Chain A
Amino acid sequence: MSTLPRIGYVGMTHLGICSAVAAASKGFATLGFTPEDDLAAALQTGRLPVVEPDLDALLRVHRERIGFSSDPVRLAECDVIYVAPDVPTNDDGSSDLSVLDELLLLTFAHARNDSIIVILSQVPPGYTRARCSGGRQSLFYQVETLIFGRAVERATRSERFIIGCSEPTQPLPTAFARYLAAFECPILPMRFESAELAKIAINCCLVATVSTANTLAELCESIGADWSEIVPALRLDQRIGQHAYLSPGLGIAGGNLERDLATVVQLGDANGTDVGVVRAWQANSRYRRDWVLRMLHARVLAMTEEPQLAILGLAYKENTQSTKNSPALSLLQALSPFKVVVYDPVVTPQSAWHPHLTSAANAIDACDGADALAIMTPWPQFKSLQPSQIARRLRGKLVIDPFRCLEPAACAAAGLEHHVLGRDFAL
């Protein structure tokens, strides 16, 4: 193939949009397809329905190479077509694959016979091989490793590509290989089932590390230790590594990791293998999610009449508008009798989340008259808040700051009772 292949992305949710913009940024003519007319029109005018650092700028720079359409006939223009809708999950982490199935059938119907179709969505092992007979085109599966809040970085500078194939010993089709080569990273072809499980394996390793951090951080809170002092020692251990997920948090959120844990439990049960450790991770996640609620009850709700609470952050993590399994929303649900004032830089509070919810114009205003402040999402702007200013606005002095957005010493100097994950308050 002398000219660059044309790339299509089907399904314009978080994964599809970020991946399509990344394709254009590598110099490929790219089509973003969605069956929703309004969404296609909005994207065509540059309005993005997702929040990701650098995404708007990247789209502007490479605008001439990317188009958006709701006309499936245009898929015939594409040499490589990624089917990439986000796959929603229910409360127990199970996937609803119906949207992916519909879009895959649509793609089979409109793609050329010589097009390459690649499933990029999150699918359970066995999914891709079961769809191999659905169309005339060659079908592949590619592991996505999108991280909310770092999606552009992940899509443009991949560590490696894991490619599920029906015959991994055969070379990849030229157009597909050429597209992947543009990202200049190792390419690992393997059986469909191995690739599908590789995605889950990555997430299980992440959860294992997070769960270890959460478990030991909680112990730190009781025995006079500080987890933040331990983390650098772990990072210097080559078996753990510089980039390991060692920061304690409020359980697993966002939906993707929970989905993979649910898949492993379901597969293990169905195949009679031991998945007890995965169940333990799930239980630990549920338990850590409620750390702030327990702190609030122990430190303020148990002894305050008509308490008022300030909550900063609603998104499940910084730099995203996603609230899927967000600890903040879970907390709000458990605070229904109390007056709560919230602020999030991106997420608009909804009355369904809490019966007495008030929205503040900014972070510091949310603190006005509150008996306690909980910083539920570590947005970068919260890190620049001055503890002395917070202390002046609060009625009480309790600050629950799981992610250590504020400096403990500065909080102590401001007279605040500052609690962070992994650090004994008595220190």
Chain B
Amino acid sequence: MLTHRHAEPQQPSRVVVLGSNGFIGRELVAYLREKGTSTLALSRKEVDLAADDAVDRLTFLLRPDDTLVFLAALTPDKGRGIAPLLANERMGAAVAEALERSSVGHLVYVSSDAVYPFRAGLISEDSCAESTDLYSAMHLSREIMLKQAAKAPVAVLRPTLIYGVGDTHNSYGPNRFRRAAHKDKRITLFGKGEETRDHIFIGDVVALIDRVIAHRSTGLLNLATGYSIAYADLAKMVAALFSEPIEIACTPRQNQITYRSFDVTAIHRSFPEFKFKLLEQGLATVQQHAKA
């Protein structure tokens, strides 16, 4: 649950987006600039967090009244092994050290819902986080190191599966289904697609991050819609976006069926006026952009 340092939203002095070239980073920078928020976009080109001079460069760039949004990470599609773990930890350590040396006004760390094990049931901010693999261990340890290092209010956001136009990943879900439907006229499911997941539109993710920034919120918030859908139903929804018939193919199940649902009461309480984009609308938006 978040606590707002600003009861009414306020324009931040400057937002520094670390990891501005990723899926969320690009959308967030565009959103903030569109709103007229002073934004410093930092990708690996400007500050390579794995480089030896990362701490110095970041310390030099940060100002005491900045809001730092830390997005940079090697995502699971780059591997879930030890090497990406160590690289991610090193990046986190560099940011933590820079925060110890200098200060910012507000830190927003975008973690992941991977920190919740699948046996957690209905997930809320009260759910117990637990490292079930090196990727979730990385996010959990980063959360701790950043909270320890930052002298400013810290908001930790744990988004669930994000979909949207600029998604470069090809993870099992809306983006892969749409590409497969377009290319092969066929969507392939694991098993019969029984697993349920919550899919949040990228536009909603950046709008929520913007609200966290504007309220200078501190605490923990899961970024999810509260609406979970089986992959089989999601595939049907994606297929319906195409004028030609799309085959939905099942495959022999390799893994145990898992379910994931969120209690999003904390979002309703933190941002009562926030409205999620419905999954049908979000998928249609992505499809329109893809056609264009």
Contact = CB atoms under 8 A, between A and B. Distances in A.
A174 interface: no
Contacts of B236: none
Interface stretch (B13-21, B60-68, B261-269): B261-269
Contact of B272 (A286, A287, A334): A334
A178 interface: no
Interface in B97-146: 122, 124, 126
Contacts, number: 34
A298 B263 CA distance: 12
A301 B275 contact: yes
B164 interface: no
Nearest to A303: B275
Given A287-B263, A302-B275, A293 B268 contact: yes
A287 B276 contact: no
Interface in B224-264: 226, 263-264
A337 interface: yes
Contact of A294 (B126, B226, B273, B276): B226
Interface in A291-341: 293-294, 297-298, 301-303, 333-338
A301 to B, nearest CB: 7
A365 interface: no
B263 A335 contact: no
A303 B278 CA distance: 10
Nearest to A279: B126
A180 to B, nearest CB: 44
A328 to B, nearest CB: 15
Contact of B268 (A287, A294, A303): A294
Nearest to B275: A302
A301 B126 CA distance: 25
A125 B8 CA distance: 45
B88 to A, nearest CB: 31
A293 B265 contact: yes
A302 B273 CA distance: 8
Nearest to B270: A334
Nearest to B273: A337
B268 A297 contact: yes
A303 B126 CA distance: 28
A220 to B, nearest CB: 16
A42 interface: no
A290 interface: yes
B268 A283 contact: no
Nearest to B269: A334
Nearest to B265: A290
A298 B268 CA distance: 10
B265 A294 contact: yes
A335 B272 contact: yes
A25 to B, nearest CB: 45
B268 A334 contact: yes
B3 to A, nearest CB: 13
Given A287-B124, A294-B265, A336 B275 contact: no
Nearest to A334: B269
Interface string A268-283: 0000000000000001
A298 B272 CA distance: 12
Contacts of A301: 272, 275
Nearest to A330: B269
Contacts of B269: 290, 293, 333-334
B268 A286 contact: no
A303 B122 CA distance: 25
Nearest to B267: A297
B10 to A, nearest CB: 17
A343 B21 CA distance: 52
Contact of A286 (B126, B275, B276): B126
Nearest to B263: A287
Contact of A338 (B122, B272, B275): B272
Contacts of A290: 265, 268-269
A336 B268 contact: no
Nearest to A290: B265
A286 to B, nearest CB: 7
Contact of A283 (B126, B272, B276): B126
A336 B4 CA distance: 14
A154 to B, nearest CB: 34
A336 B272 contact: yes
A336 B265 CA distance: 15
B268 to A, nearest CB: 5
A290 B126 CA distance: 14
Contacts of A337: 272-273
B42 to A, nearest CB: 34
Contacts of B268: 290, 293-294, 297, 334
B36 to A, nearest CB: 23
A127 to B, nearest CB: 30
Contacts of A297: 268
Nearest to B266: A290
Nearest to B126: A283
B226 A302 contact: no
A333 B268 CA distance: 11
Contacts of A303: 275
A293 B272 CA distance: 10
Contacts of B263: 287, 294
A337 B275 CA distance: 13
A302 B272 contact: no
A333 to B, nearest CB: 8
Nearest to B227: A298
Contacts of A302: 275-276
A335 B269 CA distance: 8
A91 to B, nearest CB: 13
Contacts of A286: 126
B86 to A, nearest CB: 35
A181 B189 CA distance: 72
Nearest to A338: B272
Contacts of A335: 272
A290 B269 CA distance: 10
Interface string B72-94: 00000000000000000000000
Contacts of B275: 301-303
5 contacts: A287-B124, A287-B265, A294-B268, A302-B276, A336-B272
Given A287-B122, A303-B275, A333-B269, 5 more contacts: A290-B265, A294-B226, A302-B276, A334-B268, A334-B269
Q: Sort A-B residue pairs by CB-CB distance and give the 9 closest, nearest first.
A: A290-B265, A337-B273, A334-B269, A302-B275, A297-B268, A337-B272, A293-B268, A334-B272, A334-B268
